[in-house]
A and B are shown apart, each in its own frame.
Chain A
Amino acid sequence: MNQQDDQELQALLKQAIAPVTDTELPRDLWPQMLKRLDRQPARVPWFDWALAALLSVALLLFPGVIPALLYHL
């Protein structure tokens, strides 16, 4: 393969896939952005995760309290 072949291939490529001529944004995308921001999942605070971890550890160490816990729930 030589440089001439590469240029030929590039020319063919440009004929087949022409450079994009219209790069103008047709509309303001901020409304879509706001929708996307609203869709963001609710974040679980770190202390909720800590509480859940603590509870899991407690239940693992003292499985005897599970029936009592279920009774009170």
Chain B
Amino acid sequence: MELLQRFAAGDLEAFETLFREHQKQVYAWIVRIVRDSGIAEDLTVETFWRIYRSRARFDPTGNFHAWARRIATNAALDHLRRQRRETELPEDLACPAKADTAVRRETRHRIHQAFSQLPAKYRLVATLALVEEEPYDEIASATGISVALVKVRVFRAVRMLRKKLTSMGMEMGTRT
């Protein structure tokens, strides 16, 4: 029997094989959304827990990687929703900041604050599209929405971010 068929039938060894094959990719995807290695580890386990629980619904002829990524995205989204809106985004995995001036630090802080206040579904697509520069079709496939809707959400996220920054007293370009 094929690996995916055995997994769908509830074979734990098949699940372990799939887990070991895909845990790195799932973690790498999640950590780019939640930006915290500890949380990403927990969410990777949560993702595979959901995968194992819904194994009977998996079509063994389907694409396991795409299915796992979709579940991982949902797990990360659930986490973003649970996060308190005021919570600062973790920065431990970001590139180390170069000598920040006080003004730049203040700007970064405000952008962080404004970004962390965006609704989770907008934060998710904005992080993937604008920060991580993932292609729109990849984001669409991972979130289970159309490319057009991804573009709409990115557009709305930018608009909301701009509005929040303006209300915080930050000048954004010549027009608002």
Q: Which residues of A contact B (CB under 8 A)?
A: 1-2, 4-6, 8-10, 12-30, 32-33, 36-37
Binds A, one of B1-9, B16-24, B141-149: B16-24
The residue on B at minimum CB distance from A11 is: B130
Query: Does chain A have a CB within 8 A of B48?
Result: yes
The residue on B at minimum CB distance from A16 is: B111
- B41 near A29 with CB under 8 A, answer yes
Number of A-B contacts (CB under 8 A): 113
Complex partner residue of B27 from A1, A4, A23, A33, CB under 8 angstroms: A23
Complex partner residue of A29 from B27, B132, B174, CB under 8 angstroms: B27
- B172 near A17 with CB under 8 A, answer no
- A2 near B175 with CB under 8 A, answer yes
Q: How far is the CA of A8 from the CA of B112 in the complex (A)?
A: 16
- A5 near B27 with CB under 8 A, answer no
B138 to chain A, nearest CB (A): 15
- Given A2-B175, A29-B44, A37-B52: A9 in contact with B162 (beta carbons within 8 A): yes
Query: Does chain A have a CB within 8 A of B151?
Result: no
Of all A-B residue pairs in the complex, the 7 with the closest CB atoms, nearest first, are A16-B111, A5-B173, A18-B94, A23-B28, A18-B95, A16-B108, A25-B27
Q: How far is the CA of A5 from the CA of B120 in the complex (A)?
A: 23
- A12 near B45 with CB under 8 A, answer no
Interface size on B, residues (CB 8 A): 46
Q: How far is the CA of A60 from the CA of B23 in the complex (A)?
A: 52
The residue on B at minimum CB distance from A15 is: B108
Q: Which residues of A contact B175 (CB under 8 A)?
A: 1-2, 5
Q: Which residues of B contact A12 (CB under 8 A)?
A: 107, 111
- A8 near B52 with CB under 8 A, answer no
- A6 near B132 with CB under 8 A, answer no
The residue on A at minimum CB distance from B111 is: A16
Binds A, one of B31-39, B56-64, B70-78, B79-87: B31-39
